[in-house]
Amino acid sequence: MTKVSEKALWFKQLSGNKPLIIAGPCSAEIPDQVLEIAHGVKDQATIYRAGIWKPRTRPGGFEGVGAIGLKWLQQVKAETGMLLATEVATAEHVELALAHDIDVLWIGARTTVNPFAVQEIADALKGTDKIVFIKNPVNPDLSLWIGGFERLQNSGIEKLGFIHRGFSSYEKIKYRNKPEWQIPIDLQIRFPEIPLINDPSHITGNRELIQQVAQKALDLNFDGLMIETHCTPDLAWSDAAQQVTPNKLQEILSNLVLRDSLNLEDSYLHEMSMFRTRIDEIDTQILKLLKDRMQIADEIGLLKKAKNVAVLQPERWQEVLIKMRREGKENKLGEAFITSLFKAIHDESITRQDHIINRK
Ligand code: PEP
Ligand code: MN
């Protein structure tokens, strides 16, 4: 069965209704490295990526080879026919990229956060028909991501796409950048025709985890993958831990299971609607239970007010959390899920009690 896709025509023509694959090194380092990787990925990827200007979080790292690398990329196109992609962060980058036949420009996560920078790039791109991808901002802010997209759209750029690369987090987590899947899902619902690409390299920061994140993205109907690839990943000048060899890229891609975004068989539709009805009923019960729980929290708020007791009782909250994690485990519910669920419930109780206590 073919994938039912509402995507923009330019994208369907580019990807041929298969996931669009963008591969290549985090950074262009030397001409031979750029060309060798390109020959390694040319049968698997439609677009060749290489960072020429590298935004580094801390100074002192490799900041990219600069404009000279654009000439190496032109050589890639001449030898392999792949489309070329690089990151741009200023109007000057855009002008240089355009002058060197770069086909796809992407705006990096550290640039999307800055409306001035995005506007400068959008202005510099006016009148071109380049493909432009906008990565999510480093912080989990959907409006900022959409705002960047709208600035590009207002400049008349028609071939636009999103790249989801995860979000910074102060918490210690297994990924370099937290996926927060709900954010790209919300984006897809709002902009069904705009292609959404996943970047499992920057999400995981770890080549061992790329396969599973790439599969999850396809299961969520993402339209393509951007995977950092290097012939000697451990020796890469940036993002060494997350790059894969061209052989590994091939293995990852061939292990991916492509699923239909819709399946229209009768029996499937019937079964699905029964499951969904049950889910809807359970959701309604959850809401009712939450309402009852909040009413009790309000009563406690009134009691605390009468007795002049502080809203937050840290020991009680710790007890609740420990108990629920233990019970969650017995019921095979993940600890991270239980923790965030009860944090949200507890936050709401505290907010309501605070309101009650401070009410005149
Ligand atoms: C990159 O693609 O190499 C890069 C710097 O990405 P991000 O903007 O997602 O950090
Ligand atoms: Mn990188």
Can you give the pLDDT at residue 55? Answer: 87
The verdict on the CB of residue 165 being under 6 Å from ligand 1 is yes
Q: Separation of 109 CA from ligand 1 center, angstroms?
A: 6
> Residues 50, 31: contact at Cβ < 8 Å?
no
Nearest CA to ligand 1 atom 3: 26
pTM of the model: 0.80
Please give the number of the atom of ligand 1 that sits closest to the Cα of 226: 2
- Residue 202's Cβ-side half-sphere holds a number of Cα atoms within 13 Å equal to 22
Residue 229 backbone dihedrals phi, psi, to 5 degrees = -130, 140
Can you give the pLDDT at residue 4? Answer: 46
Q: Given phi > 0 = left and psi -120 to 50 = alpha, else beta, which region is 359?
A: beta
CATH fold for domain 6-255: TIM Barrel (3.20.20)
Residue labelled with tokens 């999510």:
136
Structure tokens at 135: 């990565």
Q: Nearest bound ligand to CA 52?
A: 1
Strand pairing category for 159-164 and 196-198 = parallel
Q: Separation of 307 CA from ligand 2 center, angstroms?
A: 56
| Residue ranges of the chain that CATH labels 3.20.20.70 | 6-255
Pocket test for ligand 1, best of 29, 49, 110, 210 (most atoms within 8 A of CB): 110
Can you give the pLDDT at residue 5? Answer: 57
Q: Given phi > 0 = left and psi -120 to 50 = alpha, else beta, which region is 332?
A: left
Nearest CA to ligand 1 atom 10: 109
Can you give the pLDDT at residue 2? Answer: 38
Q: Which of 32, 29, 30, 2 is nearest to 17 (CA)?
A: 2
> Residues 291, 52: contact at Cβ < 8 Å?
no
> Residues 244, 252: contact at Cβ < 8 Å?
yes
Q: Consecutive 10-residue runs of the chain (360 residues): their mean pLDDT?
A: 68 95 98 98 98 90 95 98 98 98 98 98 97 98 98 98 96 92 93 97 98 95 97 97 98 92 78 87 94 95 90 88 96 95 95 88
The verdict on the CB of residue 26 being under 6 Å from ligand 1 is yes
Pocket test for ligand 1, best of 49, 65, 201, 202 (most atoms within 8 A of CB): 202
Can you give the pLDDT at residue 260? Answer: 76
Nearest CA to ligand 1 atom 4: 108
| Residue ranges of the chain that CATH labels 1.20.59.10 | 266-358
CATH fold for domain 266-358: Chorismate Mutase Domain, subunit A (1.20.59)
> Residues 45, 23: contact at Cβ < 8 Å?
yes
Q: What is the DSSP letter of 286?
A: H
Can you give the pLDDT at residue 49? Answer: 98
- Residue 61's Cβ-side half-sphere holds a number of Cα atoms within 13 Å equal to 15
The verdict on the CB of residue 210 being under 6 Å from ligand 1 is no
Distance CA 149, CA 128 (A): 16
| Beta-strand runs (E) in the chain | 20-24, 47-49, 83-87, 104-107, 131-135, 159-164, 196-198, 224-228
